[in-house]
Amino acid sequence: MTVELEYNRIVEALPQDLASCVIAVENHGLVIQPERIADIAAFLKVEPGMELDYLCSVTGIDYIRYFEIDYLLYSLKLNHRLTLKVRLTDRSEPTVPSLTGLWLGAELQEREIFDLLGINFSGHPGMKRIFLWEGFPGHPLRKDYSHGH
């Protein structure tokens, strides 16, 4: 059974400077300061006892007040998992550091979010649309996108 890591245990394990960038502990994950997400993920990837070495899924959601990105991480060795979340309030140019430096697996998933939600991942090697064509107006998964029906 894949167990959900206890959030409080993680917050205690984080070094001082990283613990300060955990904004909130919620039912479904840890909310992290967007600009520090890559640092936290890099720590959790190698820290003994965490070893979250597998980036399973990246989801982008438009909650209107903010964009949220959920990163679901697994440890294949220890069989546990954890969700990290970042929230971006800027609607005109939302930007978050890319995790492609840590996991190649983020590459296509971040491009998907860029394409459909218009969120920029800084440091991504090829940030361009993936499903829709260049010049497509808007980002369909935004809630204010009008699809003309």
Q: Are 94 and 119 in contact (CB under 8 A)?
A: yes
Nearer to other proteins, 14 or 109 (CB): 109
Q: How far is the CB of 16 from other proteins (least distance, A)?
A: 29
Task: Decide if 139 contacts 116 (C-beta within 8 A).
Answer: yes
Q: Which is nearer to other proteins, 20 or 79 (CB)?
A: 79
**CB of 11 or CB of 108, closer to other proteins:** 108
**Site residues, other proteins (CB under 8 A):** 1-2, 27-28, 53-57, 59-62, 70, 72, 76, 79, 83, 103-109, 112, 116, 129-133, 140-141, 147
Bridge-based pairing state of the strands 54-62 and 67-75 = antiparallel
Q: How far is the CB of 102 from other proteins (least distance, A)?
A: 8
Residue 84: name the closest of 102, 93, 92 by CA.
Answer: 102
User: What is the rounded CA–CA span in Å between residue 14 and residue 103?
Assistant: 20
Q: Which of 7, 13, 57, 46 is nearest to 27 (CA)?
A: 7
Non-local (6+) Cβ contacts of 53 within 8 A are: 45, 74, 75, 76, 77
**In the complex, least distance from residue 14 CB atom to other proteins, rounded to whole angstroms:** 23
> Closest approach of Cβ 40 to other proteins, in Å?
18
Which is closer to other proteins, CB of 14 or CB of 119? 119
